[in-house]
Structure 1
Amino acid sequence: MPGKIPKYFINDLLSRTNIIELINARITLKKQGKNYKTNCPFHHDKTPSFTVSYEKQFYYCFGCNAHGNAIDFLINYDHLNFIESIEELAITNGLTIPFQNKIKNEYFQKEKIYSLMKKISKLYQKNTLLTDSSKKYIKNRGINQEMIDFFSIGFIDKNWNDFSKKFNISEKFQQELIKNEILSITPKGYIYNRFYERIIFPIHNKHGNIIGFGGRALHNITPKYINSPETDIFHKGKEIYGLYQVKKKCLKPEYLLVVEGYIDVITLTQYNINYVVSLLGTATTKEQIKILFCTTNIIIYCYDGDLAGINAAWRALKIALPYISETKILKFILLPNNEDPDTIIRKEGYNHFNNRIKNAMTMSQFFFQNILKNVNLYSIDDKFYFSKYALPLIDKITNDTVRIYFRQILARKIGILDDNQFNKFLYETENTKKQDYQFKIKRTPMRVLIGLLIQNPSLAQIVPKKLNFNNIKIKGLPIFLEILKTCIKFPNLNTGQLLELYRDQKIINIFKMLAKWDHMIAPKEIKTMFLDLLININNKILQKRQEYLISQERITGLTINEKKEVWSINQSLSKKTQYD
């Protein structure tokens, strides 16, 4: 798959991308020396072990060994495939991808589907104003024309043939819709639209492309709400309804209010609550949490106050625990029973509802309120049960400050106030066995040499020109020479770009290991160490050649040229050789 995109374009794309900005937009980085650090997003990391280097354009974790360049981060954090990650970086940098084999490439197939979705969505929207039943429904829900246009609300008739004739849909366009599963065919050969007799809510990705639809039945059709099926461009657990519209108004909103339904999003937006999104009727996923926190620092869940709403909010909090911090926080609004955001804002208006947002419950309040249900804190047994249940959840919080704060609240609630008792309590109840993720490489001169070059590709420019390693068999030397050749060919490479050039080759795993290796050499000593290692390896090569020639002299004798070579080697080894 990567072979469909020219290497030169990927190299240029990485040179334009600042990995610090890319990662910091998703998780908060803190500068530490010349690098940036944070808790690793890829494992349960209690202390910051995730390091990002601006100089190398490379990230690595000393805890779980996660590592890579900007493309790898998008693949692993945003759960994109290779081409999607290139698309993301290309859009960010305002570039067009020069795909090879355009007709066969899935990228262009996606673009074609986006175009089809846009065309059919416009027809759905036109149909809203031409159909009495949809006009009546929208009027009864109090949705105005501005919201219809802003969210591109549409409607589809029960009979596809009637709809097709109404808008003079061509046979070619219809076949394209069928081919791409936007329309379906019954076993008897009838064409139908799965959203028939439903109000249509187009779902956009963050770039504004329509990737799917949600549908709300007008009559007693079950289920009341449906979504498009999972496709190559639509994955419910990774999408958020209304986020595109929010970002049209504000790229970095103060908060995001998460509600349950499409109508809730639209009505609240109509009442000037502008930062409202919903999760397509699914339980919150970690991918959605990441997307939400990439957009804002405050997520406010607004659910019905019944048992289903409370359980949905609780599930969301548990999923979010590894991602919360001092700056990334959750809040909760639980509405009165039998109320949802759509109904309650119409009853109480903007000001009252906005006060609900301002007074939203903090995550610690909601956490302990929910976890203390049916717990009697006067009972020793209940206290034990409570702490045993709460601690594993609290331990999922990777941020030190927030985790300690939650533990302090827990200690106070079960009556442990003394610091020594508190520490003993934690020690005896926490799982102290930690998986040893430490990354270890046996230190050899050649590995140090290769590691230094991978981490500092500019060292290739100071390699002495008189060194000659041709036809010499030393373990690791071919790898070094391969990297050296690449670094000389591309003199401005950073580590991230260098690794990308070898993504499809078996050798990449060795390169990646050495790219994150802590070789324990001070930065100011790297150049000297690199040259010393080269000279030492060269001297070893000369010594091996010398030993061979001396043994040949004893057996068969040497030619005049071989004798001259022995003399030259002796001269080289008898003094500190100076190189260009």
Structure 2
Amino acid sequence: MITDEDRERVRAATDLVELVQETVELKPRGREFWCCCPFHGEKTPSFHIIPATQVWHCFGCGEGGDVFSYVMKRENLNFPDSIRYLADRAGIEIHEVGSERPSGSKRARLLEVTDEARSFYQMMLMRGKDGLGRAYCAERGLSAEICRKYRLGYAPGRGALVAHLSSLGFTPREMQDADVALSRRGGLTDRFFNRLIFPIFDEQDRAIGFGGRIIGEGQPKYLNTAETSLFHKKRNLYGFNWAKEHIVAQDEAIVVEGYTDAIACWESGIGNVVATLGTALTESHVKALTRFAKRIVYLFDGDAAGQRAAERAIQFIEEADLDLRCVILPDDLDPNDFIHERGGSALQELIADAMPLMDYVFSRLEDRVDVSTPGGRAHALEEGLRLIYPLRSSYLIDSYYVRIADRLGVDADLVRQAAPRVFREVGQAEARAQERERRSEQARRSRETFAPNEYPSKPIDSSFGTYPEDPAYSDSSHTDAAGTVAYGGGLSGAVLTDVERRALACERELLTMLTTYPDYLRPFSDQIGSVSWIDPRGEAIAWAVLACPEGTDPAAAMEAARAVCPEAAELVSAGTISGTSAHPTDTTIAFLLDTLELYTVRRLIRAAQGRLRTDASLDADTRRSLTIEATQLAAKARELKRKIEEVADPFKGSS
């Protein structure tokens, strides 16, 4: 278990602005920094950072938090691994209580395993006695220079890697966790045998996994590292470490399906190329690439498998700011063969003329079957609806029906009528496949063992950006179209009135200002203390900050907030009114406090009126007192409403 002291050391060594700037361009605005959110596509920046308190929030997708929640979201890590990730980044050695190896984090040890394995494989290829790897490279046109440049290797198998890693002090558990070794009845054995090895690197150029191509006959032809805490085939891309700068420079990413395809492109001068890892293009891949470029060209092989991959990618065409195009190579050639036969310049010409993915997919309907016959049209109609199933909830779905109808020469109403049945069938098939995958994942996890106080690899609630150690942990409120608000503190599912929703927004703004300028708001302590809070966590944070001595800086105020509320970073990161309001700060604070007081007063009025209506046991004096109290509160509410309406709404400046 990671100690609180080590966690805070890592936090202190990590600057949120520098961390976000690794992948996103930030623009200063007053005392804050703004950018387009790295987690969802958008044109107008809604992601902001408050350097003083080291918190972030996106007003577009509702995510927010501190450095740890940012890394959890960006790198798909759980909370402990986010600390280890940032510790590795900052060069901090953490000492885990109860760990078998207190000298370093588990993630760091696994990175050492994969790096040593990479080095071993490379040595076996370049200088090993077994010349099969070198002969295969020569046959495939992979020169010694290319092998060194891309750090290719050769896996001889027969326990050679296990013996090498064991001699360096790595344990069987570490080798299995990095998936470079497997446990068999006879003991531990190498994961890869008689294969050309392509190391897979993360964005920081660290080996996290391997792809192995069989030399000679055998199945599977390509074998990848299985899912580990370092490697995720649906999230990682081969060559991203080399291609990232070229992608940024050209504002375009090219995606291929093979390691040698990517290498051939790089060697021909096409540097902005990455390869998927035995899987189709995924949402995580798209999100990773659109952090650096808005145009993605999917370079498919010309065979049937490549065409199916193009069709699966249709689900991403409506991603904001994304121009998704495709190139289908002629004569069933893959990019590697095409470049060797016709040259890199010919491929660049095809890429420049890449067609929109949707145009290609719909054009294929007429090529598959003879649409001049009724049976052919019926088959093509069903295929077309299956293609657009991922877009069934789109506002543009009717336009897709019309395009299918135009392609097949049928009435659009016929397509609309057939859609519910086809969509239902596809949905049922997907549900069955997901259930099989879920059971398989459960079986895999049941075989895993976790160190004391470690967290199992369970999904994180991405809608709130929560830390996994606390099941009640949630971000600031989320309101749906019906006004239902879900947040922590036992208030999930509460339905709020308009004034309550405004009060909740004011609470968030007040907390942001309170932690950013603790001394400035100290004169308003009495008013803040009298607020009837919608979210009780806000009240705990407010009292904790107000209890700090004068001269407390924002970082110390945040420490006080976190001490009473673990999710303080999420709650105090949502405010922006202090930087966008056109009013003086005092006026903005008065507006927030008056709004919160109005909510408090109206709550008291409802309570008094409720007792008068429903409590038959009240005597005459009590009824008279409650009536007078409700009347006075009503007058107070009118006065507060008048004061609020006299001020131009500062929220409109932050919308």
Is TM > 0.5 for Structure 1 vs Structure 2?
yes
Q: Give unpaired runs (5+ residues) of structure 1.
A: 398-402, 417-421, 540-580
Q: 1:394 to 1:534 in 2, by over 3 A?
A: closer
Q: 2: CA distance between counterparts of 1:342 and 1:219?
A: 19
Q: 1: CA distance between counterparts of 2:174 and 2:230?
A: 15
2:47 corresponds in structure 1 to: 52
Q: 2: CA distance between counterparts of 1:467 and 1:281?
A: 59
1:323 corresponds in structure 2 to: 319
Two-structure CA RMSD over aligned residues (Å): 5.1
Residues 450-492 of structure 1 show CA distances to partners (whole Å, capped at 9, x for unaligned) of 4443121244313456967999997766553123235967423
Q: Indicate the structure (1 or 2) with the bigger Cα radius of gyration.
A: 1
Letter in 2 for 1:302: L
> Given that residues 246 and 274 in structure 1 are in contact (C-alpha distance below 8 angstroms), is that contact kept between their aligned partners in structure 2?
yes
1:508 corresponds in structure 2 to: 567
2:109 corresponds in structure 1 to: 112
1:225 aligns with 2:284: no
2:91 corresponds in structure 1 to: 96
2:8 corresponds in structure 1 to: 7
Q: 1: CA distance between counterparts of 2:65 and 2:505?
A: 20
**How many Å apart are 1:148 and its aligned residue?**
0.2
Q: 1:39 to 1:343 in 2, by over 3 A?
A: same
**How many Å apart are 1:284 and its aligned residue?**
2.2
Q: 1: CA distance between counterparts of 2:528 and 2:199?
A: 63
Q: 1: CA distance between counterparts of 2:386 and 2:247?
A: 40
1:484 aligns with 2:551: no
> Given that residues 377 and 413 in structure 1 are in contact (C-alpha distance below 8 angstroms), is that contact kept between their aligned partners in structure 2?
no
Q: 2: CA distance between counterparts of 1:219 and 1:471?
A: 76
Letter in 2 for 1:508: E
Q: Secondary structure at the match of 1:214?
A: strand
Q: 1:39 to 1:269 in 2, by over 3 A?
A: closer
1:127 corresponds in structure 2 to: 124
Residues 399-426 of structure 1 show CA distances to partners (whole Å, capped at 9, x for unaligned) of xxxx76x97687577579xxxxx9xx99
Letter in 2 for 1:138: C
* TM-score, normalised relative to structure 1: 0.68
Q: 1:468 to 1:80 in 2, by over 3 A?
A: same
**How many Å apart are 1:358 and its aligned residue?**
1.8
Letter in 2 for 1:119: E
Q: 1: CA distance between counterparts of 2:64 and 2:165?
A: 51
Deviates more, 1:148-157 or 1:71-80: 71-80
Q: 1:188 to 1:17 in 2, by over 3 A?
A: closer
**Structure 2 counterparts to residues 302-341 of structure 1, below 5 A:** 302-318=299-315, 320-325=316-321, 328-341=322-335
Letter in 1 for 2:542: F
> Given that residues 39 and 48 in structure 1 are in contact (C-alpha distance below 8 angstroms), is that contact kept between their aligned partners in structure 2?
no
> Given that residues 238 and 274 in structure 2 are in contact (C-alpha distance below 8 angstroms), is that contact kept between their aligned partners in structure 1?
yes
Q: Secondary structure at the match of 1:267?
A: helix
Q: 2: CA distance between counterparts of 1:446 and 1:324?
A: 32
> Given that residues 314 and 388 in structure 2 are in contact (C-alpha distance below 8 angstroms), is that contact kept between their aligned partners in structure 1?
no
Q: Secondary structure at the match of 1:237?
A: coil
1:365 aligns with 2:362: no
Give the alignment partner of residue 175 of structure 2, picking from 177, 180, 195. 180
2:233 corresponds in structure 1 to: 236
Give the alignment partner of residue 263 of structure 2, picking from 259, 262, 266. 266
> Given that residues 255 and 296 in structure 1 are in contact (C-alpha distance below 8 angstroms), is that contact kept between their aligned partners in structure 2?
yes
**How many Å apart are 1:142 and its aligned residue?**
0.6
Q: Secondary structure at the match of 1:212?
A: strand
Q: 2: CA distance between counterparts of 1:472 and 1:488?
A: 21
Query: Number of aligned pairs?
Result: 499
**How many Å apart are 1:187 and its aligned residue?**
0.8
Q: Give unpaired runs (5+ residues) of structure 2.
A: 421-479, 486-494, 602-655
1:209 corresponds in structure 2 to: 206
> Given that residues 126 and 154 in structure 1 are in contact (C-alpha distance below 8 angstroms), is that contact kept between their aligned partners in structure 2?
yes
1:569 corresponds in structure 2 to: none
1:159 corresponds in structure 2 to: 158
Q: 2: CA distance between counterparts of 1:184 and 1:308?
A: 31
Letter in 1 for 2:520: I
Q: 2: CA distance between counterparts of 1:361 and 1:197?
A: 40
**Structure 2 counterparts to residues 469-480 of structure 1, below 5 A:** 479-480=541-542
> Given that residues 202 and 213 in structure 1 are in contact (C-alpha distance below 8 angstroms), is that contact kept between their aligned partners in structure 2?
yes
**Structure 2 counterparts to residues 451-466 of structure 1, below 5 A:** 451-457=508-514, 458-463=516-521
> Given that residues 260 and 278 in structure 1 are in contact (C-alpha distance below 8 angstroms), is that contact kept between their aligned partners in structure 2?
yes
Letter in 2 for 1:180: M
2:469 corresponds in structure 1 to: none
Q: 1:60 to 1:202 in 2, by over 3 A?
A: closer
Q: 1: CA distance between counterparts of 2:209 and 2:108?
A: 14
**How many Å apart are 1:448 and its aligned residue?**
7.6
**How many Å apart are 1:286 and its aligned residue?**
1.2
Q: 1: CA distance between counterparts of 2:393 and 2:142?
A: 42
**How many Å apart are 1:141 and its aligned residue?**
0.3
> Given that residues 243 and 277 in structure 1 are in contact (C-alpha distance below 8 angstroms), is that contact kept between their aligned partners in structure 2?
yes
Q: 1:38 to 1:410 in 2, by over 3 A?
A: farther
1:526 corresponds in structure 2 to: 588
Letter in 2 for 1:323: E
Q: 1: CA distance between counterparts of 2:482 and 2:44?
A: 13
Q: 2: CA distance between counterparts of 1:185 and 1:52?
A: 46
Deviates more, 1:68-77 or 1:454-463: 68-77
2:627 corresponds in structure 1 to: none
Q: 1: CA distance between counterparts of 2:206 and 2:301?
A: 31
Letter in 2 for 1:153: L
Q: Secondary structure at the match of 2:209?
A: strand
Q: 1: CA distance between counterparts of 2:323 and 2:372?
A: 28
User: What is the percentage of aligned positions where both structures have the same residue?
Assistant: 19
Residues 326-353 of structure 1 show CA distances to partners (whole Å, capped at 9, x for unaligned) of xx32221112344212222111122222
